[in-house]
Amino acid sequence: MGVGKRVLLIIAGGIAAYKALDIIRRGRERGLDFRVILTKGGAEFVTPLSVASLAGSKAYTELFSLTDEAEMGHIRLVREADLVLVAPATADLIAKMAHGLADDLASTALLANDRPVLIAPSMNVVMWRQPAVQANVATLRARGVSVVGPGAGDLACGEVGDGRLAEPLDIVTAALKILSDGPLKGLKALVTSGPTFEAIDPVRFIGNRSSGKQGHAIAAALAAAGAETMLVTGPTSLPDPAGCKVIHIESANEMLAAVEGSLPVDIAVAAAAVSDWRPSREAQQKMKKREGGEPPRIDLTTNPDILATISAPGPKRPALVIGFAAETENVVEHATAKRQRKQCDWILANDVSSGTGTFGGADNKVHLISAAGSEEWPRLSKTELAEQLVARIAAQLKGAKS
């Protein structure tokens, strides 16, 4: 599966470093070829000799080693890799990556790197939950770094919680997924997800109950299929999906600006529940109650239609534009009209009437509506639906190319 692919594995100094040996073993069984950098801390936990024995090539440790630089400079180490895998990724190395520090071979190689990066964090639960660590991980994700784990369970320090290195086989699987030449390799995709919040005043807003689950699952599936994926999302409680570049926005106008800045793309999926209206004026100060006074009136103005903007004919129109239609009655009929009105290629129409559990739920039931007509899909989990949609997108674009 991974035959011929080269991984630059960076082993940082955490107690889970010993599991990196198993990553090498399981990766090699699946055809991966490893070059390894051991940080100074990493070398406290595993020896260069055990790494070299398993990897079949020497472990690089020092930035200013004349022999290491002469044999294989730090730039070449990353240039010759198809993927850089940091496992275990310690809080310290994650911070260096987030801030662009380069004071040893591992951090310098990471800074000189232009290949996909996968990190497998591992640390004590309290460290993992520190806002500083979470902010650094969020920064890396937003730059397109993929993250696998950490898992929850017993930690080497005796505490219990998040922070365990993901299982070696799961790390290898995540690496293979990134390395696989997915069907959408070479294509760019854009997904909108989540609700928008439209400010009334500095503390109040108009929003909706969209969880972002479906849009985030679609972005993750597009990235897993090899597309360079940008996700523009309103506020949700979901983590950023692996392998995507993520732009966080609040209002429809901000979403439109982020979307326009991301064009041109080949595939666009508008899964966001964009607020149709926003308050005409945003009060600059918190609106106060007045004793016996009338409640305030909120004048609304119409938001831009982001899907219709993406779909409008022009040089930047994506090859395939897909929208959603949330309907409570005459689902297919209304969604068919919406497809024509918004000029998108496909609409996924879902019934969101009360009792269906679609909003915020784990499942979805849709009709795919295209110029060819309408097709009813079975009830699927939002992840399965995303995978099926991506398979259809790949088939459609392949058909269009040939």
Hey, which residues are catalytic here? Answer: 157
Binding-residue pattern over the window 178 to 207 for ligand CTP, x denoting contact by CB under 6 A: --------------x---------------
Q: Which stretch binds ligand CTP (CB under 6 A): 87-95, 169-177, 323-331, 389-397?
A: 323-331
Residue 389 interacting with ligand CTP (CB under 6 A)? no
268 binds ligand CTP (CB under 6 A): no
- 11: left (phi > 0), else alpha (psi -120 to 50), else beta? beta
In the set 106, 133, 326, 389, which binds ligand CTP (CB under 6 A)? 326
Residue 270 binds to ligand CTP (criterion: CB under 6 A): yes
Nearer to ligand CTP among residue 246 and residue 270 (C-beta):
270
Cβ nearer to ligand CTP, comparing 11 with 393: 393
- Least gap, CB of 341 to ligand CTP (angstroms): 8
CB–CB of 191/241 below 8 Å? no
Nearer to ligand CTP, 134 or 328 (CB): 328
Nearest to ligand CTP of 188, 338 (CB atom): 338
Size of residue set near ligand CTP by CB under 6 A? 15
397 binds ligand CTP per the rule CB under 6 A: no
Nearer to ligand CTP among residue 113 and residue 364 (C-beta): 364
3-class secondary structure per residue, the chain? CCCCCEEEEEECCCHHHHHHHHHHHHHHHCCCEEEEEECCCHHHHCCHHHHHHHHCCCEECCCCCHHHHHHCCHHHHHHCCCEEEEEEECHHHHHHHHHCCCCCHHHHHHHCCCCCEEEEECCCHHHHHCHHHHHHHHHHHHCCCEECCCEEEECCCCCEEEEECCCHHHHHHHHHHHHCCCCCCCCEEEEEECECCEECCCCCEECCCCCCHHHHHHHHHHHHCCCEEEEEECCCCCCCCCCEEEEECCCHHHHHHHHHHHCCCCEEEECCECCCEEECCCCCCCCCCCCCCCCCCCCEEECCCHHHHHHCCCCCCCCEEEEEEEECCCHHHHHHHHHHHHCCCEEEEEECCCCCCCCCCCEECEEEEECCEEEECCCEEHHHHHHHHHHHHHHHHHHHHC
Query: Does residue 305 interact with ligand CTP by CB under 6 A?
Result: yes
**Residue closer to ligand CTP, measured from CB, 97 or 189:** 189
Of the candidate residues 325, 332, 393, 394, the single one contacting ligand CTP (CB under 6 A): 325
Q: Does 366 engage in binding with ligand CTP (CB under 6 A)?
A: no
Indicate whether 306 belongs to the interface with ligand CTP (CB under 6 A): yes
Question: Smallest distance, Å, CB 322 to ligand CTP?
Answer: 8
- Write out the binding residues for ligand CTP, residues 20-79 only, by CB under 6 A: none
Q: Shortest approach of ligand CTP to residue 197 CB, angstroms?
A: 14
Pick from 252, 320, 386, 389 the residue near ligand CTP by CB under 6 A: 252
Residues found near ligand CTP in the complex (CB under 6 A): 192, 252, 270, 272, 274, 276, 303, 305-307, 323-326, 338
